[in-house]
Structure formats: C-alpha cells, structure tokens
Structure 1
C-alpha cells in the first residue's frame, strides 16, 4: 500500500460533541506523545480531534454526528505515519506497534475491526500459500505435487472467504471483505507470462466502484495505486511509462461513470507521480483525464500545488535567476556561453559549504564548457564579498534573506550546498545530492 503517496487536505473540523470513544495503546510506549484523527473521504481527509498520551494510552472522542466510515490515526504527522480503523457507531480499543501497525494491531473492542483485522490476517496467509505454490511451480523440476496441492489450497481460500462474508453480514466490514477478494485461476497456470496476464485481467473483478462505504474510504485509491505501481512496472523508463498509460486507461474504464471516485483516483495518481518527479506521467494524466472531467471536479489550486512540486524536476526548465553585473541585469535563461551549467546554492554560514565549495571550484576549473552559477544564501553581504574573491571564474549571486530568498524558494532549497546540472537550454539534467555525485555525473 502506497500510504506515503496519499495527500493531506484539511477541511473544516467536525463538531466536537462526543459520543463513542477510540482507545489506542502504542507498544512500545514513549515513541509518540500525540495522535491526531481524521475522517477519510477518498483522497481527502477532515481533521476530527487529537489526544495526548496518558501513560502510553490515548483516548479520542468521536463527535456526536460522526459518520460511519474509515478514520485515519496519525501518530507521526511529520513522516506521514498512520493507522486506519473502521467506525460504525461503537467504541474501539486497539493496541499496535507503531513501527508496523498493520501487522501487529489487536482490537479488544469493536466487532467491525475485529472481524476485518482477522480477515486480513487469515486471508493474507492463505493467499500467500497459493501465490507461493504458483511461483514455485514455474521452476519446479517435478510439478505434479504442486499441481495437486493447488486446488486443495484454493478450496480453503474459498471457504475462508465465504466464512468471513457470512460472519460480516450486517456489518460495514462486509463491503471491504468483498472488495478485498482476489481472483485465482481454477487450475495452476503454466507460465509466468500467462499468470501476470491473468492477474491483470481479473484485478478489479471484486471491486464495486459504486459502493458508498468504499467510496468514502481510501479503498479505491489503494487498489488503483497497487494496480498501477506494483502490478505493472518495467525497469526501462520508456517501457514503464507506456505500460502505466495503458493500465491507467484500464483502471479509468473499470471506474466507469462514477465521477467522484474517478476524480479521487485521478488526483491521487497525479500526486503520486508528482512525488516521484515524473513529469511525463503527471502531464499525461492532467491533460487526458483531469482536464477532461466535468468542471466541478477540477481545482486550479490542486494543479498549482502539483506544478509547484514538479517545477524543479529533472526535465523541467530551471527557474529564473537574475543578478546585476556592471549595472546591467543578467538572467540565467539568457546565458549562452557553455554547453552545461551548474547552479549551486551555498552559504558562508554553512561550515560544510566552506569545506566543499572550494573543492568544487577547483574541480570546476577542469570542466570545459561548464559554467557555474553560485547563489549564496546570506543574511548580509559581508561574508559573501570576502569569499567570492576566491571564486573569480564563477557567476556569484547574492541571495539575501537566506531561506526566504526568492531563488531559494523557487528552487525549493532547504539545505546547502544544493546542486542542479542544466543543459544549454537550462533544462534540469540532474540534481546531485553531494559534491561526490557531481564528480560522478561529469565523470560519466
């Protein structure tokens, strides 16, 4: 589950009259002292409440008018770590290890979550058995035993699924259990290629994109993310992009005319590819799916956020940098004296920079047809004026206000030194993390 790829949109807080409670115990204790609860609605989430630790225990109150559905518990907001529960007008009590919440969660209260958690654990174990048999079959020297075992384990899976569906009758959990069912061929499949084709063809067989309970959770988004990113990928970048365009089209077709779900999925895919700095697929989904939606499902603020995320991605034109030489304004975009350029952000208040920048300057002298634009992020010009005397062959730009400098903001700089390698058209070719990476880039 690509949890870290989901984005946060905080809406108006829900009314704070309490009804049912959610008790959380983190084991081991002490790692986190606060939990925040959000109501999930597709790709969006609305803040509900938070609670501080009391001897390692947390008590959160559901509002009186809280709607049944999926709720997300952030115990580490900074790193986006969370655990999800199903709420259906009942008290919930759960204990888990925050380092692996999905695998360690134990519910002592809440029939909805007890049934669903047990289902996930038991069905997952049985699916693993079937998958292991199928994969072992491809390379097994003697295949008959596996061929005979496979239908036996498949029957156990069917019985397990049927048993949980009966147990969940009358519960909201039933919709999630049905949606999580996974297709398996009645007989073992002979080749890996046919197996992957079968998995792709039947991936959405049990997903009802019109189900209201699933719509107001992250279920559909998680499913499509799994299908696009994990079920379908290739090592070659061009092949991977082509493959993902094909499977995105399949997913959109499966969703059909449900514009709300389609919008949530499209937005999540755009955000996920933006996080990966994948300009091609961000642009492809935006033009072919996002902008073809009804106007009510398009949000300029969302697109602005996405464009801001990818503005310094590899392949994009570097943001403009301006400076003055002999009372004449100069621009990065107008430079034409080199085949490649390196923009480096540094500071005289950064001890690491004071060690590394002189080394980079000496190294850059050995690079023909490469010009360096060094932007010093400073609170004043004193140190800058002294230091640039040792770097006469660079274009030295003073960026006052340090982190709040316009160039620092446009390049999303939060650490120095930061490097950007550009081509002659000022398109970003690479973003080396260290000086050693700069050397590796030019050595290659």
Structure 2
C-alpha cells in the first residue's frame, strides 16, 4: 500500500514534467509569442504556446502526452512561412537559438544536433565539388577523392543515426554520388536524373517534415539551366515531380502541389500555375471532393492574363432612371479599370482619390472605371461616391461573399484589373503606383 501511495504521489510529476524545449530568439524585441505544433502528414496539431521573455527566451514543458515525432515552432504570421522543424525523441530536452539571419542552432538534443551536423558536413563537401568544377581542374584523382569522402560521410551519419527519427531525414537527403570521374555537364545531368532516388514519398516522417516541400521547390526552381525556356522548364520539372511522388497519397500530393501552385501564383507564373491546376490539382480536388480548392483553381484560371474578364451585371442610373447593364455590354473605351475597394479600408481611401485624379488625365472616352465597393453597410459608401461621379459605382453587398468578388477571387482591397477594349485582362496591378506605371510605360 505504501508503494502504491508513493506511485500515486509521483505520477502527476511524471505526467506534467518530462522534458522541455527551451530557446532564445534574437533580436528579442521582434518576437512576442511562439507556438508549438505536432506535425503530421496532412495536418498539424496545436500543442501549446509560450511567451517570449524580454531576453528572448521561451520554454515549452513537454509531458508524457507529447509523443516522439516532428514538431514545428511557429514564430510569426503567416504561420506557413515562419516556422522551423524540431525533432522530439521523447528521451531528451531540447535547447536552441534562433536568429532570422542565421536560422536555428541546436545547443542540446542529440538528434537535432546530429541532423544539423550532417547538413553542414554535406554542404561543405558540395562546396568542394563546386569549387573543383569552377576551377576547371583536370585532376580526376582529386574529384574521385571528394566523392569518396562524400560517400563515407553519408554512410557514417546514417550509422550514427540508427534508431532515430533523424535517420529518415538523413537518408532522404542523400545526394547522387558518382563512383568515378564525370565532367560538369554529366554531373549536373546525373544530379537531376537521380534527384528523387532517396526520397520515399510514402514515408510518414518525411511527410510530417518540411523536407519534401524544400526538395520539391529546389528541384522545380533549381534544376533549370540559364539557357532553358523558364516556363517550359518549370512544367517539365513539375511532371518529373509528379512521377516521383507516385507512392504518395492524394492528400499528400494535394499539399505539395498546392504549395507549388501558390509559389507560381506569387511569382506571376500564371501559365505554369494553370498547368499545375489543369494537369493535376483539379483531378485531385474532384477525387477528394475539395470544392474550395476546385473553385479557387477555376477562378484563378478565369482571371488569368489574356482571358476575357468574367461578366457581371450592375445597375446604372441615368437621368433619374435605373437600368441593368452587363460589363460585356460596355463599348467605346480603349481600356477598362475594375477596382474592388472598401469604404473602411485605409489603403483604399488613399488610392481611390489618386485613381480619380489619374482618370482625369486620360483623353475623353479612353478609359472607363468600374469601382466595386465590397461593403457590409452602404451608409458611408453613399457619401463617398459623390466625389467620383465619373466612375461606374457598384455597391458590392456581402463584402468577401459578394458574387462579383468571388468570381474575381478578391481577398484584399484595393484589387485592380485592367481590361482591353474586348474586355480581356491585360494587367493585374498590385497597387495604384503599378497601375499608373502600366498606363504610362510604353
């Protein structure tokens, strides 16, 4: 009975205080809070949050419910951009430092330090290979020696990581290593051909880490020659990626390809983004019954450069009479500017007057502006549009849920579209200055 009582008294302490993740962020004034998530192949589970102290320090207490695996520490928003991976073995404390310039460094934790050491060691060897080729050396023995060191380094780290989570990551990072001398062109071709050889896209550890995403982006964007047609190269690399991840689930393919699609969208590579959507993501969205993704892909395609702008109707009041018109029915203008704005948006209240002044510089009947205010309440909008009688002013009831806004994929205000005389989209300026530049640059 005494032993049972002792165990009962000790149990809460075992549950509440097993191990911890501690660290220090610098500069400390740039950070307020950090979040801890358990990474899983398709979704991350929130674990806890910790305040950043004045000296930049933080601490996560990990009880027995926190199991071994890959975790993410999030330090800013958007969360998907500002985070880093941490391996938790369930057997040790973790201590780290983080600086946005130098990244994360691990002071305590066998697995994390081992993985960092591996990355640094292989990076130095890669630099040696690059230096060899840059110098144009003809010493084939020296290159074979470097390849031998690279092979031995890979093997030694795999042996050291045996039985750890880090092993999967180290094995997946294994580069292609020639067994004999090869010239630069052949070496680069071999690296590209064998790039995905070591990556098991069905591996749960890899799916939970950021490795697959990093490898994907490095391949698609990095494995292109400067002389290649960029769009064609990105498409070919995407096709190779698709073939390589055949063993992955649809959910994992969706995550990776959505990320790649978004990268292309952000870089204004619309042709590549639409290729990814039409060739792969739309079918995945249908299979997974992901209507939100499917609609997003369709809206982006419909509002890509060169496409005819989605039509919509609006009311026009003339000489005291109100009638219904469609965008497609407007005629007689060289260009049309569609601007989505909001009467409570500070950027809009700065840019809409500039747009109005800019409009006055055009020749008569050269440009028509359709200003769609995405509003929840029209009281302020009615007062403001008095200053812009030359615009076609449309009250966009429902704000983000407004039908026109959804057809154009509007997620922020102001959002601009420039159309030609045939209502085809010719520019999508991100702000007024870009709009002005488009019209004033030959």
TM-score (norm 1): 0.79
Tell whether the 8 Å contact from 2:340 to 2:373 is kept in structure 1 after alignment: yes
Q: Which has the higher contact order (CA 8 A, sep 6+)?
A: 1
Structure 2 residue runs without a partner (length 5+): 1-14
Residue 342 in structure 1 maps to residue 343 in structure 2: no
Tell whether the 8 Å contact from 1:263 to 1:297 is kept in structure 2 after alignment: no
After superposition, the CA RMSD in angstroms is 3.5
Deviates more, 1:114-123 or 1:104-113: 104-113
Residues in 2 aligned to 1:167 and 1:440: alpha-carbon distance in whole angstroms: 58
- 2:357 equivalent among 340, 356, 359: 359
Q: 1:233 to 1:402 in 2, by over 3 A?
A: farther
Tell whether the 8 Å contact from 1:341 to 1:373 is kept in structure 2 after alignment: yes
Task: Show the counterpart of 1:5.
Answer: none
Q: 1:412 to 1:221 in 2, by over 3 A?
A: same
In the TM superposition, what is the alpha-carbon distance from 1:283 to its structure 2 partner? 3.8
Deviation track 1:207-232 (CA, whole Å, cap 9, x = no partner) reads: 23343322332322322222112223
Residues in 2 aligned to 1:400 and 1:233: alpha-carbon distance in whole angstroms: 49
In the TM superposition, what is the alpha-carbon distance from 1:280 to its structure 2 partner? 3.5
Residues in 1 aligned to 2:369 and 2:225: alpha-carbon distance in whole angstroms: 37
In the TM superposition, what is the alpha-carbon distance from 1:343 to its structure 2 partner? 1.9
SS for the counterpart of 1:284 is: helix
Residue 437 in structure 1 maps to residue 428 in structure 2: no
SS for the counterpart of 2:360 is: helix
- 2:230 equivalent among 227, 240, 244: 240
SS for the counterpart of 2:332 is: coil
Residues in 1 aligned to 2:291 and 2:285: alpha-carbon distance in whole angstroms: 13
Task: Show the counterpart of 1:7.
Answer: none
In the TM superposition, what is the alpha-carbon distance from 1:34 to its structure 2 partner? 0.4
Deviates more, 1:199-208 or 1:37-46: 37-46
SS for the counterpart of 1:204 is: coil
Residue 330 in structure 1 maps to residue 325 in structure 2: yes
Residue 217 in structure 1 maps to residue 209 in structure 2: yes
SS for the counterpart of 2:75 is: strand
Task: Show the counterpart of 2:263.
Answer: 272
Task: Show the counterpart of 1:29.
Answer: 28
5 Å-filtered alignment, 1:1-12, equals: none
Residues in 2 aligned to 1:360 and 1:223: alpha-carbon distance in whole angstroms: 46
Deviation track 1:353-409 (CA, whole Å, cap 9, x = no partner) reads: 37523431222227x754332446772322322x135x4xx4344557888876567
In the TM superposition, what is the alpha-carbon distance from 1:315 to its structure 2 partner? 4.1
Tell whether the 8 Å contact from 2:316 to 2:322 is kept in structure 1 after alignment: yes
Task: Show the counterpart of 1:95.
Answer: 96
5 Å-filtered alignment, 1:43-82, equals: 44-55=43-54, 56-62=56-62, 64-78=64-78, 80-82=81-83
Q: 1:361 to 1:248 in 2, by over 3 A?
A: closer
Tell whether the 8 Å contact from 1:342 to 1:370 is kept in structure 2 after alignment: yes
SS for the counterpart of 1:86 is: strand
Q: 1:162 to 1:70 in 2, by over 3 A?
A: same
TM-score (norm 2): 0.79
Tell whether the 8 Å contact from 2:202 to 2:249 is kept in structure 1 after alignment: no
Q: 1:59 to 1:163 in 2, by over 3 A?
A: same
SS for the counterpart of 1:329 is: strand
Q: 1:211 to 1:52 in 2, by over 3 A?
A: same
- 2:183 equivalent among 183, 190, 209: 190
Residues in 1 aligned to 2:352 and 2:206: alpha-carbon distance in whole angstroms: 55
Residue 372 in structure 1 maps to residue 373 in structure 2: no
Tell whether the 8 Å contact from 2:32 to 2:51 is kept in structure 1 after alignment: yes
Structure 1 residue runs without a partner (length 5+): 1-15, 138-142
Deviation track 1:291-321 (CA, whole Å, cap 9, x = no partner) reads: 5559764522333355566665434554536
SS for the counterpart of 1:268 is: helix
Residues in 1 aligned to 2:195 and 2:95: alpha-carbon distance in whole angstroms: 31
Q: 1:264 to 1:384 in 2, by over 3 A?
A: closer
Q: 1:322 to 1:439 in 2, by over 3 A?
A: same
